[in-house]
Structure 1
Amino acid sequence: MWVRVALPVSLGLWLASLRGVDLGRMKDLGLLQVLPVVFWVALGLLALGFCTALCDRRTPNGWFAGYVLGLIAVIHATPSLLYPTLRYGWAWKHVAIVDAVIRNGGTVPNAGKLELYNQWPGFFQLNAFFLQATGLDSVLGYAAWTPPVFNALLLAPLLLIYRAVTRDRRLIWGAAWIYYSCSWVGQDYFAPQAFAFLLFVTLIALVMAQLPTSARPLPAATPIGWTVGRFAVVLLLEGVIICSHPLTPLMMISALVALSLPRRNRRVVLPVAAGAVLLTAVWDTTVARPYVSSNLHQFLGALVQPDSNVVSGLAQLGTAAPGQVEVSWVDRGLSAAVFLLAAVAFLTRRWTRRTGLPLLVLAPLPLLVANAYGGEMIFRAYLFALPAAALLVAALFFPWDRRPLLRVLAVTPVLLALLGGLLFGYYGKEAANYFTKDEVAAGRFATSTRPGSLIVSVTSAVPGLVAHYDKHPHVQLDEQELSDRQRLARNPLAGLEPFLAHTTAAKPAYIVLSRAQAAECYLNGTLPADTVQRLESQIEKAHGFTTVFRNKDAVVYRYENPAKGGGR
């Protein structure tokens, strides 16, 4: 009875808790600071109800699915329901790329730093095709719901992977719960990497389903291999992954090579791995050749710096906001706990050694050693290892044959601790990821100006600022060289001026300052926390700047270089 009551009650409390949340109070810890107590009560009831469901062998799959989907909704639909606009600056950037693809009928000219997306266009071309087929105006109509929808779609291939390893329903659903409780990296927004990761997990699920495992032993006379139809589907998945994202194909190859190490797997895995290597090589030497060739020296140089690659994503906490330091350490603790628990399961649950799970957990490590990927490789390695690690952790937690009620009392606090760690990583940066309608209006104003005008922002936290990136050059101050950022930190206006030197009356500059940019400076510490405020104060007193747009959360200044005849 409790299982049937806890789910609807917890979901009802969750929805009720979202009324009246004051998003303006978010600071160091993002949504964690503004969500009411009822939200946390709902999450606790959900976890307790799920653990209770695991006690009973007779619990139908439908209730397990309800609890896991309920967890997905609570975690991932909360921002979608609370925020008035699309969350996260990179999601807005990807929306702009889809619009540019449609506007240009394919490859986007004058793409500048976004030229990379012309060389891996699969995700954007697919969305452009969908918009044209349905008659929708923009992906903004559905992009805000990408996180909950993506995670719900991911559930099917996750279950297929786990069913290939065990027939214990409770262990399968427990692993799914663990995955969603620990997936804090946040690569589930409207992005090509989210799309490619979904296809990657689907591909691994199809491969795992073909392998001889302890859960599905095959008679000796049973042929092991691929039918033509299934192999064609696998190659299609590989092709879409390869044309959509540069990193995921390498993770895919690494995972397939790892799965091919046991001799019994090679007949199934080697053809798939060979197809992945061949298709990736063809793509990288043709369509993606400009990017690969221009960065080849950097790739080779990274190979001889494995220690630097591993720790690159863990540095630079000294200038971050105090709450962000706390968030970072919680993220590290959760990640370390997952790998530690997976290792304990490997040692104590001997049956897991006969599966491909340990190999899949280790598969991302060669890429972690080989390249820093802009400081993100350590997080991506965790993400790609997590589907397999989750089942190992579940194998440690969920053998329910003895004293099930006592185990509920023991395991529920652990599940809540994992969820707490997840929410630190997933909600902790929301002060900069959340945008108001006023900020959206400022971004739209700046990009609606005369083509060729320069657009300047302090950080990337401006929604829609690259909406016409093929028509407007863009300068983002916090990604400039160290010397430029040091000058900006000392004197924001003096640091800005070199980037405005070539503006004219015909091609002026538009400087956009906003609430989220100020929040991002404070949170990550790349620039001093008061950079946006100081720059606004200096611009108000400087010659050549005109206020052309202002509201509560943003301001846009127009600048024409007086030396070029554009002064007031």
Structure 2
Amino acid sequence: MGKRSPLTTSQWAPRVTGETRRSGDTQPAAPSGGRTTATQWVARAALPVALALWLLSLRHVNLNAMTDLGLLQVLPVLFWVALGLLAAGFCVALSDRRTRGGWFAAYVIGLIAILHATPALLYPTLRYGWAWKHVAVVDAMIRNGGSVPGAPQLDVYDQWPGFFHLNALVVQATGLESSLGYAVWAPPVNNVLLLAPLLLIYRAVTTDRRLVWGAVWIFYSCSWVGQDYFAPQAFAFLLFVTLIALVTGQLRAAAEQPPGSRARAWPVGRYLAVVLIMAVIVCSHPLTPLMMVSALVALSLPRRNRRVLLPVLGAGALLTLVWDATVARPFVSANLSEFVGALLKPDSNVVSGLAALGTAAPGQVVVSWVDRGLSAAVFLLAALAFVMRRWTRRTGMALLVLAPMPVLIANSYGGEMIFRAYLFALPAAAFLISALLFEFRRRPRLRVLLVAPLLLVMLGGLLFGYYGKESANQFTKDEVAATHFVTATTPPGSLIVSLTSDVPGLEMNYDRHPRIQLNEQEFAVRQRLVNDPIEGMEPFIDGATVREPAYIVLSRAQAAECYLNGTLPADTMRRMDTAMANTPGFVKVFGNQDAVVYRYQNPDAKEAP
């Protein structure tokens, strides 16, 4: 095996050569020349063949056939062959100590392409309703000079505007019409950008290329949460991983200093860069600063780390407190009681984000259990590494795995905290798993090939979580056309009613139209809607007038969401369509294969003066 970083020694001051070694644990560097072996030919051929098969597999994918399992049930056999061949080729490359780092990087980028570029290549429009919402916020900030006024449901973006201001600057500097054009490619780009800081973190702990690249592969194979789309969380998570990379790198540099050295804990330029990264995190996302402070606290627990960590921790905590007490004070004040209540009921924060298995579509029951199984397996394997690979206990990786737990206990974050905690723990957990699976002295090829089935299982679990809900995440051009009709051509002041949030771009021109989302209403309201769609909508649309009518948008993705998550019965949208088509006052004003829009005006409602 390759050299261990001083981070693995029990003292920061390096001893002997500043490295901890085991007999027979060295891994010779790859030779610069020599005859190419059969193993090398296999590793080099598998990558281009896998990518070619992947591209060929995307030619004939029937997106209209997606139901319970999303893309999983419509991707052809050739796609799975390509993914399996890529994984096998990576394992072959990993078994050969002469494989150069460039080949490992190419395999990882190929994996990112297959996993994260597939939806972008298949779908005719931007994927995921929240991504459309963030595009609308960027557009609103450009129109309103950097803010989103007059929208209570969007005011949180005024208080953490960093991501949106950056994208508004990009749109204005490039002359693009909106961020919609490049938001489509956010998932593959965000994942490629994560590669550099992940490598820095892992190389600060070990110089063994097998452990480093194995950890990188495991990270991408287990990152099923899907927080890589066009969103502040993806941006802030990238900065968070970069911050941890700089901190672990500085810990290694400090450990390599001779005993009694009076060198600065941080070079001034590097420390200022760290502070700048933390400032951008703090102004871009409400959750990530808490995860950042928690991770820095965890890394500062060993006394040997404190000289490096305390200046960073102090700056990060101060920036977070100042921001939350000033710019974000309205949001913090309005939600303080919820925060306190969550502290008193930590068990609800752990389970609140899990799917209601009894009401979900049959395929979603499978997806939910696979997600849970993969997450549990990641933490179990990381725990086994902590027990069986004793040197990992001195790396700080175990501390980073546990760092999100206090934040998980403190708040539910709208039911998503358990997923976010998994995301922030995953980079460190992936390294521990790599140490467990790929640290061996004898028969490396046999050992790597024996581990290959586990890597394939990880990829399969990822695809269930990442692709399993695509029937609701994907939007057609017909759905986009319906939304454009409602947001761009209807009278200002008109009420827009949707069944769920899965309507692409409904927040565009939000300042012209109030909006109601029916599946977010109280249980009694939703029950009344199920019993009688017209009666259920009546309290919201009763005030619609000729000048300011109500527009009800029904679409394919909304029906898919109702079917998948069971918040409303699967036939709710069909029954609403039938009821409005047969009720006076409702007029169908737009319709195509995937969407329909009804206008309603109450003849008894009085016009505003």
- Regarding TM over 0.5, the answer is yes
Q: Tell me the equivalent position of 1:233.
A: 273
| Structure 2 counterpart of 1:275 | 315
Corresponding residue for 2:31?
none
2:259 matches 1:220: yes
Structure with higher Rg: it is 2
Q: Judge conservation of contact 1:50–1:64 (CA < 8 Å) in 2.
A: yes
Structure 2 Cα separation of the partners of residues 98 and 440 of structure 1:
18
The match for 2:600 among 541, 559, 565 is 559
Equivalence map 1:52-131=2 (5 Å)? 52-131=92-171
Q: What TM-score do the two structures reach when normalised by structure 1? A: 0.98
Over the matched positions of the two proteins, sequence identity in percent amounts to 72
2:606, 2:293 → 1: CA distance? Answer: 57
Q: Which residue of 2 aligns with 1:258?
A: 298
From 493, 518, 536, give the equivalent of 2:559. Answer: 518
Query: In the alignment, residue 360 of structure 1 is paired with which amino acid?
Result: L
**Among residues 564, 571, 574, which one is paired with 1:533 in the alignment?**
574
Paired position in structure 2 for 1:451: 492
Give a deviation string over 1:164-186, Cα, whole Å, max 9, x none. 11110111011000000000000
Partner Cα separation in structure 1 for residue 253 and residue 74 of structure 2: 47
- Residue identity opposite 2:590 in structure 1: F
Residues 212 and 265 in structure 1, CA contact (< 8 A), matched pair in contact too: no
CA deviation map 1:509-558 (0-9, x unaligned): 11000000000000000000111110000000011111111111000111
Q: Note if 1:471 corresponds to 2:533.
A: no
User: What SS is found at the alignment partner of 1:470?
Assistant: helix
Contact residue 92 and residue 449 of structure 2 kept, 8 A: no
What secondary structure is seen at the aligned counterpart in 1 of 2:544?
Answer: coil
Alpha-carbon deviations, 1:320-359, whole Å to 9, x = none?
A: 1010011000000000000000000000001100111000
**In terms of mean alpha carbon deviation, does 514-523 or 100-109 score higher?**
100-109
Partners of 2:386 and 2:392 within 8 A in 1: yes
Which residue of 538, 543, 554 corresponds with 2:584? Answer: 543
What is the aligned counterpart of 1:488 among 529, 540, 544?
529
1:99, 1:138 within 8 Å by CA — same for their partners in 2? yes
CA distance in 2, matches of 1:346, 1:150: 30
CA contact (8 A) 2:223 2:426 kept: yes
Are 1:7 and 2:47 counterparts?
A: yes
Map 1:137-536 onto structure 2 (within 5 A).
137-212=177-252, 217-222=256-261, 223=263, 225-448=265-488, 449-536=490-577
CA contact (8 A) 1:508 1:560 kept: yes
The CA deviation string for residues 233-270 of structure 1, in whole angstroms up to 9 with x for no partner, is 11111111111100000000000000000001111111
Query: 8 Å contact 2:398–2:428 — kept in the other structure?
Result: yes
Structure-2 residue corresponding to 1:136: 176
* Shift of residue 218, structure 1, vs aligned partner: 3.9
* Structure 2: distance between partners of 1:117 and 1:333: 34
* Aligned residue type for 1:335: S
Structure 2 counterpart of 1:62, one-letter code? G
Instruction: Write the letter of the residue equivalent to 1:86.
Output: L
Cα shift readout 1:254-290 (whole Å, capped 9, x = no counterpart): 0000000000111111111111111111111111111
Aligned equivalents of 2:382 and 2:600: distance in 1? 57
DSSP 3-state at the match of 1:266: helix
Cα distance in 1 for residues equivalent to 2:240 and 2:398: 17
For 1:241, the aligned partner's letter is I
1:282 corresponds to which letter in structure 2?
A: V
Q: Deviations over 1:487-530 (max 9, x none)?
A: 11222221111110121111111100000000000000000011
Q: Give the drift of 1:63.
A: 0.1
List structure 1 segments (4+ residues) > 6 angstroms apart after TM superposition: none
Taking the aligned partners of 2:602 and 2:151, their CA distance within structure 1 comes to 25
Structure 2: distance between partners of 1:354 and 1:112: 47
SS at match of 1:513: strand
- The one-letter amino acid of 2:400's match is L
Q: Which runs of 5+ in 1 are unaligned?
A: none
1:565, CA displacement in angstroms? 5.8
Does 2:83 correspond to 1:43? yes
In structure 1, what residue type is equivalent to 2:259?
Answer: A
Asked if the contact 2:550–2:601 (Cα under 8 Å) also holds between the matched residues in 1, the reply is yes
Q: Which amino acid aligns with 1:380?
A: R
Tell me: CA distance 1:177–1:213, structure 2 relative to 1, closer, same or farther (3 Å): farther
Amino acid at match of 2:271: F
For residue 352 of structure 2, give the secondary structure of its aligned residue in structure 1. Answer: helix
Equivalent residue letter for 1:417? V
Contact 2:96/2:445 (<8 A) preserved? no
Structure 2: which amino acid aligns with 1:17?
Answer: S
Deviations 1:134-171 (A, max 9, x none): 11111111000000000000000000000111110111
- CA separation in 2, counterparts of 1:525 and 1:114? 26
| Unaligned runs of at least 5 residues, structure 2 | 1-40
Q: Distance in 2 between the 1:328 and 1:4 partners?
A: 37
Q: Which moved more, 1:423-432 or 1:484-493?
A: 484-493
What CA distance in whole angstroms lies between the structure 2 residues aligned with 1:285 and 1:277? 12
CA contact (8 A) 1:212 1:218 kept: no
Q: Secondary structure at the match of 1:9?
A: helix
Q: After superposition, give the CA deviation of every residue in 1:77-114 in whole Å (9 maximum; x if it has no partner).
A: 00000000000000000000000000111112111211
Amino acid at match of 1:196: A
Code of the residue aligned with 1:469 in structure 2: it is Y
1:188-211 Cα offsets, whole Å, 9 max, x none, are 000001000000000011001011
Matched-pair contact (CA < 8 Å) for 1:165–1:213: no
Contact 2:148 2:154 (8 Å CA) reproduced = no
1-structure distance, mates of 2:309, 2:577: 58
Greater alpha carbon shift after TM alignment, 336-345 vs 224-233 = 224-233
Q: Shift in Å at residue 314 of structure 1?
A: 2.2
SS in 2 for 1:226: coil
Letter in 1 for 2:134: H
Higher alpha-carbon deviation: 25-34 or 364-373: 364-373
Deviation at 1:400, TM superposition (A): 4.5
8 A contact 2:438–2:448 mirrored in 1: no
Deviates more, 1:173-182 or 1:295-304: 295-304
Question: Are the equivalent residues in 2 in contact too, given 1:29–1:327 (CA < 8 A)?
Answer: yes
Cα offset for 1:405? 2.6
How big is the shift at 1:485? 1.0
Query: One-letter code of the match for 2:601?
Result: E
CA distance in 2: counterparts of 1:437 and 1:430, whole angstroms = 16
Cα deviation, residue 219, structure 1: 2.6
CA distance in 2, matches of 1:523, 1:487: 21
3-state DSSP class of the match of 1:459?
Answer: coil
Relative to the length of structure 2, the TM-score reads 0.91
